[in-house]
Each structure stands twice: as C-alpha cells, then as structure tokens.
Amino acid sequence: MSATRACALSELQQDEAHRVEIDGVAIAVVLDSNGEVHAIGDVCTHGDVSLSEGFVDDDTLECWAHGSAFSLRTGRPLNLPAYEPVPVYAVTIDGDDVLIDPAVLKEL
Ligand code: FES
C-alpha cells in the first residue's frame, strides 16, 4: 500500500508523542525540538504499553512504565529493561500532512 495520512503536522506538539493507528499498526509520531518528525512503533518491547504515553527527551522516547528510552532515529532502547528495538517508519511531509506507510521502514 502507499503512505497514509497519519495526522496533521500542525496538530503535533513539540516534544510530545502522538499515537496514531494505520492498518491496525500503532505508531508514535513525534515532532522533536529540531522540528524533525519521527515515527516509531508505539508498543514497548518490554511490555505491552503505549510508548506515546511516555516522555520525549531530545531524540528519545522514554517508556513511562520502566524507563527504557528508545531512540527516535534507530528504534533501539538505550537502557534496560527493554533490549529489543521498535520499528522506525519512513515519514513524508506533504504540506500539513504527515504521511506514513507502516509497511515501509526508514533506512537506518
Ligand atoms: S514496559 Fe516499557 S520499559 Fe517496561
């Protein structure tokens, strides 16, 4: 499939995660403090909780449950207890539209 409109760029709050669901795939969309938009899998790999309810710090998203911080660039957790990465999706910005195809991972 092709990229789907996930949300509006203008509805993203800087340094906050916004949860979207595309084709049943939960994705955390984050506008970082540099104005860059990231999209990573929303489900923490340590437990079945939503990462978008966590905390953005620079280019990481920290799980609220036990504190693993996931890189928004690589999806890798930077500290335990999580040790498996979350997927990182390619993001296209078209005007005010944030487009994501959950079948297309970002090239790392
Ligand atoms: S559920 Fe995310 S670190 Fe434990």
Tens place of pLDDT for every residue, the chain, 108 residues? 689 999 999 999 999 999 999 999 999 999 999 999 999 999 999 999 999 999 999 999 999 999 999 999 999 999 999 999 999 999 999 999 999 999 989 888
CA of 91 to the centre of ligand 1 (A): 25
**107 in the Ramachandran plot: left (φ > 0), alpha (ψ -120 to 50) or beta?**
beta
Within 6 A (CB) of ligand 1 lie: 44, 46-47, 49, 63, 65-66, 68, 81-82
Distance CA 55, CA 63 (A): 7
pTM assigned to the model: 0.96
Q: Which atom of ligand 1 is nearest to the CA of 63?
A: 2
Domains of the chain with bracketed CATH:
4-105 (2.102.10.10)
CB 70 within 8 A of CB 79: no
Q: Which atom of ligand 1 is nearest to the CA of 81?
A: 3
* pLDDT recorded at residue 100: 97
* pLDDT recorded at residue 107: 86
